[in-house]
Amino acid sequence: MRLAGLAAAALLALLGPAHGQARDTLTVGITQFPATLHPMIDSMAAKTYVLHMARRPLTTYDKDWKLVCLLCVELPTFENGGARRVPLPDGKEGAEVTFRLPADAKWGDGTPVVAKDAILAWEVGKHPRSGVASGEGYRRILKVEARDEKTIVFTNDRVTFSYNDFSQFDLLPDHIERARFEADPETYRRRTAFDTDTTNPALYNGPYRIVAVQPGASIALETNPHWHGAKPHFRRIVVRVVENTAALEANLLSGSIDYVAGELGFTLDQALALEKRQGQRFDFNYVPSLLYEHIDLNQDVPAFKDRRVRQALLHAADREGLVRQLFEGKQPVARAFVNPRDSIFAADTPVYAFDLAKAQALLAEAGYDRVVDGIRQNAAGERLSFEFGTTAGNRIRETVQQVLQSQWRRAGIEVRIRNEPARVYFGETLRQRRFQMAMYAWFSSPESVPRTTLHSESIPTEANGWAGQNQPGIRSAAMDADIDAVERELDPAARKVIWARMQKLYAEEAWVLPLYYRSDPFVVPKWLAGIEPTGHQYYSSLRVEHWRPR
């Protein structure tokens, strides 16, 4: 197999187009097909990846994780007068944010992008029966007005530091979608042009527009003649879906696919193996992302109520060694829930170095000072033995699990692996907090407030219908207060102090065992340039117009 791969590489290197040769089509491989192409209904990585090429939100985070203006003339701030505090009818204070759309921004049919497109998006987003998955962001907007054709005024129901972040606010073409929505909001999701007339150019305001869809297989995009920004280099981009990553690799090597998207392509171990065989043919770029891999400790488990036991688990785990051995150091060890690339990362967040002696001392201090059959127990005979679950079939997670199991065993802690299919694991076990230790990952945006994951109001219970994502069951008045405070703090310096306090508290309390930040492996042919991996949920495809042959 390896010989075959090498032979193929040599052959294809001979047959492949020479550097500088004109290429007008780029074929990108991803592993998922979007079920719907409506930007607001359902959230799916593949849909976001494709739509980023064809549509532009008002704002986004760039590759340096800074909020920037995208479909606007200037990012509105309190400082430049684009935003201001306003009194609300209920006596509270809100934020009025004014966006000016680019004068030459047009939909793919030549119709100008105007303020009423934003008004329609808001109406759809906040409508309880429209089928939009996450309506909270739209409901927080009290009013959207058109000051003129190109000026939109949003009134937010509160003043938060993210008052001008409209990265998830997607405009809808009023001239196409309003009639469909108003006819019956409840069935709008089935009649939207995004799914019934997908190749209608009027749905797209980005550098490309969708021109063909093969359900389950591929989506073809061509340049949008009415795009107001920099002219894209490729006339046509075909996004092909190959769910099996071994087949994806074969497609890449055979030339059926030019480039595999880092965000939705190879697993890290597969990319590392491919690099060893094909390093001369492709550029391999491993970009740490906001996918935070961690282990939740259920705070209802008696042993986990003791902070020393939780900290001992961290000291007994050689996470640096694990990352070095399994991932060749390409995935940075996490200290807390904030990625080191994020501007709010606190460098003084406590680090738990691998220290077996310290782990054993902490466990002895916590009362687990007897060792029977290699497992520590306390005076009451309670053993340090826990169930440890993750998604069955996820090879990387299962390997990590086994490494940790053997490391903890040396500290006298037994973990019994109990994995389940993703559907059962996420759908019931995790959601209903029926676990002791659970390994999985979170994906968020830069400077994301962890209200749903760390605030005590977000603990899933039967009474609240198992809603919320605070699965470990963290109940901390200090954390709650900081989450409430950080959201309303507008001064970046003061906010950074709160963020640092939250990271320190999170690390010290060790409610959750941080593992590492996953890296997206970008496998780019040598002839392709301009791809800027971001590492967050606003993918590299949002800058598709800069992709070019070398």
List binders of other proteins among 185-204 (CB under 8 A). Answer: 186, 189-190, 192, 195-196
Q: Which among 97-105, 142-150, 405-413, 440-448 is the span making contact with other proteins, rule CB under 8 A?
A: 440-448
User: Can you tell me which of 62, 63, 109, 135 binds other proteins, judged by CB under 8 A?
Assistant: 135
The answer to whether residue 494 forms part of the interface with other proteins (CB under 8 A) is no
The answer to whether residue 402 forms part of the interface with other proteins (CB under 8 A) is no
Give min distance, CB of 460 to other proteins, in A. Answer: 9
> 17-34 in b/e burial notation, b at 16+ Cβ within 10 A?
eeeeeeeeebbbbbbebb
Give min distance, CB of 458 to other proteins, in A. Answer: 8
User: Can you tell me which of 426, 456, 490, 504 binds other proteins, judged by CB under 8 A?
Assistant: 426
Give min distance, CB of 422 to other proteins, in A. Answer: 8
User: Can you tell me which of 7, 183, 230, 478 binds other proteins, judged by CB under 8 A?
Assistant: 7
Give min distance, CB of 253 to other proteins, in A. Answer: 5
Q: What is the DSSP letter of 427?
A: I
Q: Which among 39-47, 224-232, 368-376, 523-531 is the span making contact with other proteins, rule CB under 8 A?
A: 39-47
Give min distance, CB of 549 to other proteins, in A. Answer: 19
Q: Distance (Å, rounded) from C-alpha 518 to C-alpha 510?
A: 20
Give min distance, CB of 193 to other proteins, in A. Answer: 12
Taking Cα atoms as reference points, which of 264, 145, 178, 180 lies closest to residue 518? 264
Q: Distance (Å, rounded) from C-alpha 444 to C-alpha 12?
A: 39
Distance of CA 287 to the CA centre of its chain: 13
User: Can you name the residues that pair with 156 across neighbouring β-strands?
Assistant: 95, 141
The answer to whether residue 273 forms part of the interface with other proteins (CB under 8 A) is no
The answer to whether residue 41 forms part of the interface with other proteins (CB under 8 A) is yes
Q: 3-class SS at 496?
A: helix
Q: Distance (Å, rounded) from C-alpha 188 to C-alpha 192?
A: 6
Distance of CA 290 to the CA centre of its chain: 6
For 448-490, the three-class secondary structure string (H helix, E strand, C coil) is CCCHHHHCHHHCCCCCCCCCCCCCCCCCCHHHHHHHHHHHHCC
Integer angstrom CA distances of residue 156 from 88, 116, 118, 166, 476: 9, 18, 14, 11, 29
The answer to whether residue 134 forms part of the interface with other proteins (CB under 8 A) is yes
The answer to whether residue 112 forms part of the interface with other proteins (CB under 8 A) is no
User: Can you tell me which of 72, 159, 238, 510 binds other proteins, judged by CB under 8 A?
Assistant: 238
The answer to whether residue 2 forms part of the interface with other proteins (CB under 8 A) is no
The answer to whether residue 244 forms part of the interface with other proteins (CB under 8 A) is yes
Q: Which among 31-39, 313-321, 340-348, 376-384 is the span making contact with other proteins, rule CB under 8 A?
A: 31-39
The answer to whether residue 261 forms part of the interface with other proteins (CB under 8 A) is no
Q: Distance (Å, rounded) from C-alpha 441 to C-alpha 429?
A: 15
